[in-house]
Structures are given as structure tokens and as C-alpha cells.
Structure 1
Amino acid sequence: MAYTLGIDLDIDQVKLCLIQLDGPQKVPYVDWLIFRVPFNLGPDYYCEFGSALMETIAHFLFVKKLGPQQINRIYFVCGMPYSAFANFEEGLHYTANMFIQSLFDPERVGILRADGKPMSPREVMQVKGENASAFVGTQFYGAAYLASRLYKNALTVDVGSGATHITPVVKSRIDPQGRKLPKYLRHRLTEQQLLYKGTLYTSVNQLSAGVSMKDGLYPFTPRVCRMAIVASLLKYVHPEIAREHDFPLLEEKDARILIARAIGMDTKSLLPKEIDQIAQNIYEQLSDQVGEAFLKVLKAQGRMGSQMQLVTSGIGGKHLMETAFRRDQGLRERLIHLADKLPHRLHEVSSAYGMALYAMDRLMDASLAPDRIEVLP
């Protein structure tokens, strides 16, 4: 019996995914968890966060009657969890040391580099300077790995609560051109493969100067209005999913108040249908911008682009990309949604699930099918 654990760490949220495989030719079992860490960038933030992370992992395993030493392999990816530090190097070394001092065998832990290489915590302690950026924003690898196990050629878009990752898969290899670059994070940012835009956390001010109505452009005020408020009206994220990501949807009445305030108006000045249209306008701005970035990356693939499966993942991937291509039936028909293919809502934690599956494949020298899996009893 073998166990692998995939971990996706961000500044205030962690996703865990555990896979159990009872033997060759057996269907693997899976369980997963999302937990939220209070956002506090004080001097003790990461110390407290490290303790909370290890305690949560230990409890997650304890419920399954497992101890840390029973986990055969752990693969770890992250978003941008190092804001409490002066630079990526400091944060990366803290993370590596956190595993070295934990109850887990550090030799079984792989901290994933952007090129897909899992490195042990002790190896990571030797990484210096900008080389540390190769371990940041690596969440893309999870959904891309799942797609690479399902399709030979694909372009994946993983839409989360605050960021979107767009990644090509060519001949089952994840971004073979881009990941050769030593400064891969710069590449992903400048080529729009990593966008800090998502379906809940993103502020509407990140999208544009304002919204257009019949009588002109209404500029956004400095007041922060996040996409979670828009989701409260348009219902493009299920309320349970929003709660799991610590952005519970509001009552429609309260959402309308905040959307009106976002353009310097109020609910006495705007009709309900006008506020609904503002919300739709904002959502279409987000979807169009992600869609444009997606098409840019697709175009960069040249003739291979026409052979690629267009794969969506994440909590917002399906709805947002269908909205992005609402005027292009041909592209909409090419979309394949992991939300429809993966059981047990695993598309919501594709980063952690992809890592757990990657770890199991390497451990067992196998190629497990991502869509053939059962829930742990």
C-alpha cells in the first residue's frame, strides 16, 4: 500500500490531496482538503503559518489513521506565499527548513521547480538569488500534469480565486519551450501565462478604469470591490465553493449596494437591472481578458495550436472560458472541462491533485488515469 500527498501552498490558503494505492492494477483512492490561514503579514506570520500547516497536515492524516512516516512521497507547489519575507530566497529556505524539522522524512519531500523537477528540502536550501523564483508560481504544474495524462497536446487554463495559469502541453510534455528558460517566472508573467486575475479575490479595479453604460463610462472608485461581490449576483461560483475559499457569497441586496458604490452610485440612483448589467459587464471584462491571454498563448504554439485540446480547470475555469468565447462557437466547442471529467470535484484542487498523482506515478513507475479514482472510505 502506497500513499502520496500533494500540497499547494499560497499566502493564506493551503490545498491538500492524499492518494492511496493498494497495488498495481488497483483503482487509487483520494481525499482532499482546503484550509484557510488568517492573513497577517506581521513578523510572526510565517512562523505561525508553518506550525499551522504542519498541524493541519498531521490532523488530516490522523483522521485517515495515518502517521507522517507512512507517507511515501510528498510533492509541493506554491503560488506567492512569501510576502512576509524580503525575497523569495528567504521564504523558500524557510519552507525547506519547515519540512526538514517536521515529522516527515525530508528525503520523501519534493519541492517542485518550474521545470517539473522535485527537489529535496536540503537541495532547496542551496538555491540562491533569482533562482529561487523558479519555485514560485508553480501551481500551474498540477492542472497541466493532469491534462498531460489525458491528452497528448493541450492548452490548459486553470482559473482560481485570485490567479489564472495558462500552460501548453506538447507531446505530453508540459511547456517544453518555456520551462527551459532559467528565468521562467519572468517568462510566465510577460507572456500572460500567469495572470493575477481570478473569480473571487480579484478587485474590479484591476480589470479596467470602469464600466460603460448607456450614458457613458462610470469610473471605478478607490473602494475595493472584489469579484466575490459580482459572483454573489451572477452565481458563477457555487456558494459552498466560495465559502471554502473564504469568500462567502453575499445576499443579493448587499451585493447590489456594494456594486453601486464601486462606481460612485447607490441603489436609489440605479435600477436593479442596471446593477445586474454592471455586474455582468465586470464579469465579461474579466472573462475577455483571460480569453485574450489564452488566445495569445494558443497563437504562440503555431500550427500545433490547431491540434491542441483546450482544457479548463479550477473553480472558475468552465464558466469563465465559456463566457470568454461566447461569440465564438468554434472555440467553445473545443473546450474540455476537467469539472466534467474528474470525479469528486477534484478540478477545484487540480494543483494539489496533480502533484499527488505525479508523486504516485513516479513512486510506482506508473501512469495512472486521472479520471479513474475513488473517494477514500
Structure 2
Amino acid sequence: MPEIDLQQVMREIHDSAEKHRRENPEIEAEMQRQREYFNPATRREQEPRVAEFELYLKQADISHDTARLAPGTRFPFFKRLLLRLMRPFSAPQVEFNALLVRLLNHSFKFIQDQENAIRSLRQEPEKVVELVRALGDLQLEDKRTAAVRKLTEVYESSEDPDVRAVAESHRRLHTSGSVPVGFDYLLFEDRFRGPESEIKKRQTRYVPYFEHHHPVLDIACGRGEFLELMRENGIPGSGVELNPQMVSRCREKGLDVVEKGMFEYLDGVPDQSVGGIFAAQLIEHLDHEALLRLMAAAFMKLQPGGLLVLETVNPASLFVFAHSLYLDPTHRRPYHPQALDFLCRNFGFTRVSIEFLSPVEEEWKIPPVEAPGAARFNASLDRLNSLLYGWQDFAVIAHK
């Protein structure tokens, strides 16, 4: 058997490895990049498993600084000699293994970070959708408070502590029942709309309409005057109101009122389940798009033959512009009686009629001239009085 020259074998292996590395410079470049990137002096905090690997090498006695063999090993002299001869070549391999472990650890951490980022991104669209929906709701007067609450919830999850602090302050305001706009609408109603007893007296005219159209839903029921009339006349009725102070006033009276925005509430009402819908002094708070949405929802929720009654200010009277219309800062715009009549018919309502309410006191009107031949002049005065001092309110009564 010919003698094996181990030194010659090792040199051939070494030369072959060097030739392969020269022919493939990207291997050497990558190894050098990994050595620089995973320098223990600067990257130790990102290599939680490197120390464990080095400890493993030491405990297993396979570090390139040792040439120990397990007890009972056959031909220990030759094997130890072989290990020592291979030390110049095994040392780079051990170093490469350590670099590989570092790279795997770094890759594992990178993958975890990416997975966490992906999970976070998956949640972001939901927050954006909520934010956009809330911003859209800000355009509707009856949903402003709900929209602010939704925005508060979105901002409470922000990573910015200052944003969370602002959100928390808004949360406390809402929890206490206050809206940070400095406007007490219940106090405003009590002062400018009139006493509840007076409003009940005015709304008594609507009671006969609902005797055979119930249950009745009073939208934006305010202080609950109409619901009191329903209860006093044995007509089942409930209300929806966004203002928490108004809701508290209604509940003090024992009325069935839900604190919600009208569209949010109507979305949960089954179709064709309501006998009558009543809304007094509401639609002037809505823009055109919101009014159309209300009309469509009312038609869907009413039973066949159901009744819709909408009371609002009358822009055909110029007196309204100088008094009630702009007195309330939450009013958006008035709706002409003929336009409202058209909208009701356009949405499918039949037997639509208009009733004019709240006449201006006679002392405001221009008196006629009592003189021979003044009839034509007085006729003109009547038309002028009608334009200047016409009915202040009107109601549209529409059957489905």
C-alpha cells in the first residue's frame, strides 16, 4: 500500500479552494461583507445566539484551538495528527460556520420584523377607512359628535404620545357628556324655540295623522314634546336623538329614546316596520345630500300606507330669514315647500300635501289704504305682505 502524503493532500485541497475563490470573487466579497457586518464589537446586541454557538464549540471540543479526542478513540495519534494538520483549513470553516449562524440569526430577526410590519400594515387600512368615514360624517350635522368620537378612537391608538394625550382629553369630554364646541343646544332651545308646553300645543295638530299609523318614530326628537303627545293619546312611539342632554331630558320623562345619529339608527331598523315617521325642525339642519338620504331611508322603513310628516321653516317668507333661520347657528339651509313636495313624489310617496303654520302677527304687516280707488293698490300690498310676512313654518304630509 503506497504511503499517503497528507501534507501534499492538504496543499492540493488548499490550492483547489483558493483557485475556486479566485474564479468566483463574489464568494470572497460576500464572506468579507459578512465579516464586516457581523463584527462582534458592533453587532453583538443583534446576535443573541452567537454566544451559544461559541459555547457549543468549546463544550464539544471542536474549536480550532484544540485537538482533543473523545476517550476510547481508535488510532488517536494519527487522528490527532490529522486534526492538527487540518487546523489551517478547519479554522476558516469554523469561522464560516459562526458567520453562517450569525447570518441566520439576523435573517430570522429580519423576517420577524417584516412579519410584524405586515401585520401592522394590515391594520392600517382599517384605521384609514374609519378615519375617512369619520371625516365624511363630519359633513352631516347629526353625525358630528359621533364622528369626533370615532376620530378619538382612531387617534388613541397612535404611537405619538402627544396625539394620544389629545385623544384622551376628548374622550373625557365625551364621557362627561360635553362637546368641546362651547354651544349648549338644550339651553338654546329653551330660550329661543319656546317652552315645552308651547311646542306641545303647536304639535297637537299632528296627533290625528298618526292615530292609524304606528308605531311612530320621532327623528331628532329633541326635548320629547311630540313623544309626550303620542303617549298621552295611547299611540306607540319612540325617538332617536344625538344630543346627550336632550336624551337625558327625554328619559327623565320616561320616554323611549335612543342616543344615536339618525342614519346610524335607521340602518338598524327593519324595512317596512314603522307606521309613521315625524321630524320637526330637522331638515333645515341637513344639506341636500343628507336630505335625500333621509327621504330614501324613510320610504324604505315605512310600512305600505305609512305616513311621513316633516316640519320645517318656510323660506317663501322673508320674515324667516330675518328671524328664525339665521338665529340658529346650526341651520344649514331652508327647503322650499314646492321643492319638498317634489322630492316626496320623486321618492314614491303619494297623496302629498303642504300645510302652512305659524303666522306672523298682524301688527307686523302693512295695513291697507282706506281710500276710493285703492283696491288695486291694496291687492299689491297683500302680495307684498305675503312675501314679507308669510307663514313662518310649513309641514309636508306624505303617504307611502
TM-score, normalised by the number of residues in structure 2: 0.24
Structure number with greater CO (CA < 8 Å, separation at least 6) is 1
More helix by share: 2
More strand by share: 1
Structure ID, larger Rg: 2
